[in-house]
Amino acid sequence: MAKRFRVIDADGHCIEHDEQIAQYATYLGKSLKNADRSCFSYFPSLDGWFRAASDRIALGDPESWVSFLADTGMEMTFLYPTGGLAFGLVQDRDWSIGLARAYNDWLYNAYTKRDGRLQGIALLPILDVGAAVTELRHAVRDLGMRGALLPAATVLGKAFGHRDFDPLYEEAERLDVALAVHGAPSRGFGFDFFDSFIKTHTLEHPFAILVQFTSLMFDGVFERFPQLRVAFLECGAGWVPYMMDRMDDEFEKRGQRWCPFLRRKPSEYVREGNIYFSCEVEERTLPYVIELVGEDRI
């Protein structure tokens, strides 16, 4: 039976390994192959939880992805990192610049160059916005990537609504590519004392996403960059109606003082702008979310 609509996986993941990335990277003039990886990995150690003990990764290598797409009838997948979701916790500027370039070049050669159905999402060295702009340009122009990752949890001491990131948004608009705020391993969100991974994982993606969503909205990014496409991934969609109501209420009471530059209510930016959300198919509130924000936003 012919498909009635296109099926695209907007949030797939590859499995990256240090020894593979090392082939594409140099750090301060020295090959990463010479780095001591006997007990340390290139990416930060996530959030303190040994995820391999509880998570089974069914696919992630290029061959498995190609077979999966063929078996399911999906047209393509957009690939994000796995350990690299913790990239926002990197505090070494030079390391972040070199590692982003190495990862992106590896992803291109290992995945996207091999099959057009495997689309890459770039890592950006957000510690240095100028370098992030350069890397986005390289990823899009030279590697054909379709967007870039903004890890929801970072050690920057500021959220993505800060004007320091405006050059990155301007470049993304100019290149006509999307930015994806993806749930990420976290630190310092108030639940570091949890004694089980299930508690941590329940909250760390949504909490970080809510922080970034609030900042991007009330700091005026969606007003300053109306053509910028931003997606919020891997924390469901049931939170969206709540935040629309919550932000509208705050805007009505305090908007004139704190964000007079906003020309519309926050909910109107959500419904009429270029903001997108991922969902889980089993979400019971999904029909209402679709009705509220539009099926083309989910």
* Angle of the 239-258 helix axis to the 286-293 helix axis, nearest 10: 40
What total number of domains does the chain contain? Answer: 1
In a domain, 259, yes or no: no
Query: Which residue type does 85 have?
Result: L
- What is the predicted pLDDT for the residue at 1? 46
pTM greater than 0.85 (yes/no): yes
Structural domain span for residue 54: 8-235
The CATH number for 166's domain is 3.20.20.140
In a domain, 269, yes or no: no
Residue 192 pLDDT > 90: no
Give me the chain's average pLDDT, please: 90
For 83-141, what is each residue's pLDDT tens digit? 899 999 999 999 999 999 999 999 999 999 999 999 999 999 999 999 999 999 999 99
Percent residues over pLDDT 70 in the chain: 89
Distances (CA, A) of 152 to 97, 127, 167, 239: 18, 14, 19, 16
In a domain, 276, yes or no: no
Number of other CB atoms surrounding residue 52 within 10 Å:
8
In a domain, 175, yes or no: yes
In a domain, 102, yes or no: yes
Q: What are phi and psi of 219, to 5 degrees?
A: -90, 0
In a domain, 298, yes or no: no
**Average pLDDT score over residue span 159-175:** 99
- What is the predicted pLDDT for the residue at 53? 52
